Amino acid sequence: MLFCNGSKDTIALQDVLGRKITYKELEKLGADFSSKNFDRGVVFILADNDIESILGFLLSVNVRLVPLLLNANIDTELLNKYFNIYKPQYIFAKEESNYNFKDFTKIYRVEKYSLFQTVFPKYCLNDELAFLLSTSGTTGSPKLVRHSYKNLLESAKNVSRALQLNAKEKALAALPIYFTQGLNVVLSNLYAGATVLVSNFSLMQKEFWKFVKDYKATSITGVPYSYEIMLRLGFLEMDLPDLKIINQGGGRLNDILFKRIAEYAVKNGKKFIATYGSTETTSRMCFLPPELAISKTGSIGKPIFPGSIKLIDNNGDTISTPNEIGEIVYSGPNVTMGYANSREDLALGDLKVGKHSTGDMAYFDDDGCYFIVGRKGRFVKIYGYRISLDEIEKILKDAFKNDFACIGNDKKITIFLENKLLRSDEIIKLISEKLGLIKTVFSVQYVDKLPRNSYGKILYKNLETGEQK
């Protein structure tokens, strides 16, 4: 069975309820599932961060079903869009789901989850298509990213080797597995034969930290928003003797926080490893070795072997000089097959051919380490000056120790925040002075809550359309 690489008596998966499954049991379950001779088709997995959801994914891929991982609490309207477009042959979900599957036939059961067979007919799927992920989370477009079996295995293998994972690891899997990085944490550690500790607790819950301590988690992986919360909770003062590796990905971490975590890691004999990836590259494509975390604060490091990066300028030429900004174009075996907007697209072959233009703008220094400065579409040009909206957020965040979100065009920049105690005139005064622009370019809007996805990333489209949920 795929990803069944650990010693037979080693625990592969363990959850917050104390439930566990060994690699031997995983192998046995895989053999039983394979014996059912399922017809190849798409299976919607309404996933939570639990053992059953991971099993549903592994079992499906092993028998060449094509899973689409979706948030178990996905918006009903969006779920219906997925159903109408992709018409899955199977559904894997909790029996006590929020959604009604009574019209479908229950054909297999894994603990509190069941596999349902739908009434939708089979349709053509590319032979290399392994699984599907959405880039939108619980809201947004039903566009999917198509992953091949090669993507699946190469990503898990290369990340596992780059991060030097081994069978002694007890890796905390707390990020949503229906997002690429959360899934990669699981798969890269299973590839290494390690134990994956599966948690659906929030960082804010005391049960989360009890689970980390009681089960002696050796590594934790978070996105920038995770670490912002963790530092507010006093993470750097916690007694976590078993925690050896602190992984960060999912976007750019504030330089100040980055350095604080890096210094904490060095002082306490831990490793802080910053990574960079995307759904289109089957999660992580770069990492910064822990020994460079302080000297290269804010860097995404270098590509994970055998991947490679080029920076492309506005003329389409490759940048070969340090400190010049261009778009990151990544090449590697983990680059996915392309997108799907319809079920007919699931029959398509590899359209990217191992190359992905990320839309991230970056430069490399004299040592060849890369630094991201913003998104290609997150730049505006005002009075002849090219302004990064991401940089504005960074300046304001560093100055006011508060979260901000910016949208704009070539005439106006709007700054959003939740904290009504911060005065708009002070915000505008600071940023206009920093950028050398007149104050009338900027406006400030207060919102009850900045819209974010499950990873804590700002949903800028919601701000543009006024949907601030």
Alpha-carbon distances, residue 396 vs 11, 390, 424, 430, 437 (angstroms): 46, 10, 12, 8, 15
Q: Which residue has the tokens 């809007």?
A: 445
Give the residue, 412 or 466, on which the prediction is more confident. 412
Query: What is the tens place of the pLDDT at every residue in 5-23?
Result: 999 999 999 999 999 999 9
pLDDT band at 381 (very low <50, low <70, confident <90, very high): confident
Closest by CA position to 456, among listed 186, 254, 217: 254
Fold match flag (11-148 vs 379-465): no
Query: What is the tens place of the pLDDT at every residue in 185-217?
Result: 999 999 999 999 999 999 999 999 999 999 999
Alpha-carbon torsion 158, 160, 166, 167, what sign? negative
Alpha-carbon torsion 338, 305, 454, 191, what sign? positive
| CA 267/CA 265 separation, integer angstroms | 5
Alpha-carbon distances, residue 103 vs 53, 70, 119, 324 (angstroms): 22, 20, 8, 58
Share of the chain above pLDDT 70, in %: 98
Structural domain spans, the chain: 11-148, 379-465
Structure tokens at 339: 């997108």
CATH superfamily ID and name for 379-465: ANL, C-terminal domain (3.30.300.30)
Structure tokens at 174: 């707390």
Give the burial string for 389-427 (b: 16+ CB within 10 Å, else e): bbbbbbbbbeeeeebbbbbbeeeebbbbbeeeebeeeeb
Q: Which residue has the tokens 């379950």?
A: 29
Region 352-373: mean pLDDT is 95
pLDDT band at 424 (very low <50, low <70, confident <90, very high): very high
Share of the chain above pLDDT 90, in %: 83
User: How far is C-alpha 68 from the geometric centre of its chain's CA atoms?
Assistant: 15
Q: What is the DSSP string of 338-377?
A: EEESSGGGGG---SSTTEEEEEEEEEE-TTS-EEEEEETT
pLDDT at residue 136, rounded to an integer? 55
pLDDT at residue 468, rounded to an integer? 57
Omega of the bond leading into 289 within 30 degrees of 0 (cis): no
Domain 11-148: give its CATH code. 3.40.50.980
Backbone angles phi, psi at 92, to 5 degrees: -120, 115
42-47 and 11-15 as β-strands: parallel, antiparallel, unpaired?
Answer: unpaired
